[in-house]
Amino acid sequence: MIYQGKQKIWSDYQKEIPDDHWFYVRSCIRQNFFPASEKYFLGICRDMLGKDIYETEHHTTCGGIAYHSDTIPQETAMTIVARQFALMTEAGYENLVASCITSFGNYTETLETWHEFPELEERIRENLWKACRREFKKPRYVAHASDLIYKFRGEIAARAKYQLVDRESGEPLRVVEHIGCHYSKMFPHKGVGGAEYPCVLSGMAEAWGGKVIDYPERRHCCGFGFRQYLVKANRGYSVSNTHKKFESMEPFHPDLIITNCPGCPYFLDRWQYVISEMTGKTYGENGYGIPVLTYEELAGLVLGIDPWDLGLQIHQVAVEPLLNKMGVPYDPETKYLGLDRKDIMKPGLPTFLKCC
């Protein structure tokens, strides 16, 4: 293929992400798993970069988790989405940014479905009016929060206190980037780089000094898969997926994993403990696991935010080896002290996975 042809194809998978004025919708599960990620997304965009990002306490789940678990029909999920659009319209915004990959996929799927079936959009408008007397305008632009951090990666790099570089060897840290399936596998042109070469996370990692590693199962699912996990009898599928990924990335000795989905970091993190209990095997150095971070947490670390303020003590896999490599200072004594130095209690230790 001639070079110009490649450039043309690549340009089809780039996004013109608006610079400012966003209506922000949170994830329904991320605050339990990664308690500070959304807070620091707002902190970075609003306080540090001065962007206008608005959120309202009236927004709800997007319904995506129930839709993908087969517990509600698509029309119901669409009506929930329509209500979010109504809140955005009432607040005077046109750009919608979602914290969750499944929400992003759900909003995109809804808009694409309405584009193909306008009569369905009319029915959903009617449903929304009957349910809560609201009306809406469709968003001009829908982005995922990682798109914004990707857009501002240069500004973050310019303010960085720490690099994704091994302090002792001077070598870039080896980063595994894992993109949530609902980011671009459903609608490739909606993601930066499409489905096969999404660069939303690799762009961040490289901008902050890291080196992205390529491995055979790079685009494989994390193992969440909704039904695969939610039904206990199916969890073997979930953990086997994750195991496959870790076996594939292990020879490349990754220093960390960066993700942009609520489910992926949770499963890549927690399943390392389960796999270690099942097989006795750990994938990091010296009996540790491979730290798994959200993109906000990694941006926070690079910007010099205290790791315990970022909620990294909530992770199953210890992040201390990564902090040591980056040269990020931390106080082991305050690891399990929460807000106002309240004791949040030290967890029990696994049999094989070294955690502190």
Partner 1 sequence: MIPFGFSLSPSSVTDLDKVDTRRYRELLRLEPGAATCIGCGSCSATCTSSAWTGMSVRKVILGLQRGRDVEVDAMLRGCMLCGKCTMVCPRGINTRNLILAAMRISKEDGK
Q: In b/e form, how buried is each residue of 266-289, taking b as 16+ CB within 10 angstroms?
A: bbbbbbbbbbbeeeeebbbeeebb
Segment interacting with partner 1 (CB under 8 A) among 77-85, 126-134, 164-172, 227-235 = 227-235
Segment interacting with partner 1 (CB under 8 A) among 71-79, 142-150, 240-248, 256-264 = 240-248
Minimum CB–partner distance for residue 334 and partner 1 (Å): 30
Minimum CB–partner distance for residue 346 and partner 1 (Å): 20
Work out whether 216 is an interface residue with partner 1 (CB under 8 A).
Answer: yes
User: For residue 302, what are its two tokens?
Assistant: 């690079």
Nearer to partner 1, 55 or 247 (CB): 247
Work out whether 232 is an interface residue with partner 1 (CB under 8 A).
Answer: yes
Minimum CB–partner distance for residue 236 and partner 1 (Å): 4
How buried is residue 5: exposed, middle or buried, by Cβ count under 10 Å (0-12/13-18/19+)?
exposed
Residue 303: name the closest of 204, 200, 192 by CA: 204
Q: Residue 337: beta bridge partners? A: 343
Nearer to partner 1, 99 or 276 (CB): 276
Strands 95-98 and 174-178, sheet pairing: unpaired
How far apart, in Å, are the Cα atoms of 126 and each of 48, 83, 91? Answer: 41, 12, 21
- Yes or no: say if 87 and 56 are a contact pair by the CB < 8 Å rule: yes
- Residue from 234, 327, 334, 356 touching partner 1 (CB under 8 A): that is 234
The dihedrals phi and psi of 172, each to the nearest 5 degrees, come to -65, 145
- Alpha-carbon distance of 155 to 105, in angstroms, equals 27
Minimum CB–partner distance for residue 69 and partner 1 (Å): 18
Q: Which of residues 247-266 bind partner 1 (CB under 8 A)?
A: 247-248
Q: Which of residues 55-84 bind partner 1 (CB under 8 A)?
A: none
Work out whether 236 is an interface residue with partner 1 (CB under 8 A).
Answer: yes
Residue 266: name the closest of 217, 302, 305, 230 by CA: 230
Work out whether 14 is an interface residue with partner 1 (CB under 8 A).
Answer: no
Work out whether 214 is an interface residue with partner 1 (CB under 8 A).
Answer: no
127-136: list long-range contacts, CB under 8 Å, 24+ apart: 127/75, 127/79, 127/82, 128/79, 128/82, 128/83, 128/86, 131/79, 131/83, 132/83, 132/86, 134/82, 134/83, 134/86, 134/90, 135/86, 135/89, 136/82, 136/83, 136/85, 136/86, 136/88, 136/89
Work out whether 233 is an interface residue with partner 1 (CB under 8 A).
Answer: yes
Minimum CB–partner distance for residue 283 and partner 1 (Å): 14
Segment interacting with partner 1 (CB under 8 A) among 52-60, 91-99, 195-203, 228-236 = 228-236
Minimum CB–partner distance for residue 243 and partner 1 (Å): 6
Q: How many helices (H) and strands (E) does the chain have?
A: 16, 8
Nearer to partner 1, 211 or 244 (CB): 244
Q: Which of residues 266-285 bind partner 1 (CB under 8 A)?
A: 274-275, 277-279
Block residue for tokens 């996370």: 201
Reduce the DSSP state of residue 218 to 3 states and report it: coil
Segment interacting with partner 1 (CB under 8 A) among 66-74, 157-165, 237-245, 311-319 = 237-245
Work out whether 349 is an interface residue with partner 1 (CB under 8 A).
Answer: no
Nearer to partner 1, 190 or 243 (CB): 243
Minimum CB–partner distance for residue 244 and partner 1 (Å): 5
- Alpha-carbon distance of 91 to 104, in angstroms, equals 20
Work out whether 135 is an interface residue with partner 1 (CB under 8 A).
Answer: no
- Footprint of partner 1 on this chain (CB under 8 A)? 216-217, 232-237, 239-240, 243-244, 247-248, 274-275, 277-279
